[in-house]
Amino acid sequence: MSVDEPISLHVSVHQIEQFCSELCQGSANTSRKHAALIALEGFITRHATTDKYTDTYSRIITAIQQYAEQTRLELLNEYADQLEPALLNKEPRELARIHRSVSRNGFDQLLEQVITRFTPEQQNALKQWANDWSDHAEKQARLAGGYPDALNFKAANISLEEYRAITELKRRLTPL
């Protein structure tokens, strides 16, 4: 058998729904479930060829996307639960880890979701901390840069991921 010889794969909407359900029930790791669903959707999209124009194909993709949306919401809730103490305790490393794990839009949604749980005093304290932390980081990076407008976070021993997460927080807490 040649490595380029294809196999035929036939799958129904019911089979996909059953597979997705088993996948979601069989794993406690939401991130893995979500990644598997996205990979499944990509695989089917890539290899469906002429079936892409059928009602069955559309229903299969829709079913996968519905499960993927459920896992995406679960992931966001998990990250929100992790973000709240990271913000309250002002932990740059944990903020950076969460920021790295989601899209920029996802991080913004998380901030919006979590910050609304805080009192105005907590929000103001967090904003002051983010301003102070980022101002200090920029000052240190500017000094390490060697030129007036050159920031060198690495030479200043400042995590760029932490800086990005905290400047996103700062942006979110600063009204337009």
Range of the domain at 103: 89-176
pTM greater than 0.85 (yes/no): no
Domain ends where: 34, 67, 86?
86
Same domain, 97 and 139: yes
Domain presence at residue 3: no
Same domain, 176 and 93: yes
User: pLDDT value at position 169?
Assistant: 96
User: pLDDT grade, residue 1 (50/70/90)?
Assistant: low
Same domain, 81 and 99: no
Mean pLDDT of 140-169: 92
Residue 36 contacts residue 23 (beta carbons within 8 Å)? yes
Helix (H, G, I), strand (E, B) or coil at 10: coil
Domain presence at residue 162: yes
pLDDT, tens digit (0-9, with 9 covering 90-100), for 43-92: 999 888 777 788 999 999 999 999 999 999 999 999 999 999 999 999 99
- Ranking 60-64, 110-114, 143-147, 154-158 by mean pLDDT, the lowest is 143-147
Same domain, 56 and 93: no
Contacts of 45 by beta carbon, 8 Å cutoff, 6+ apart: 52, 61
Report the domain count for the chain.
2
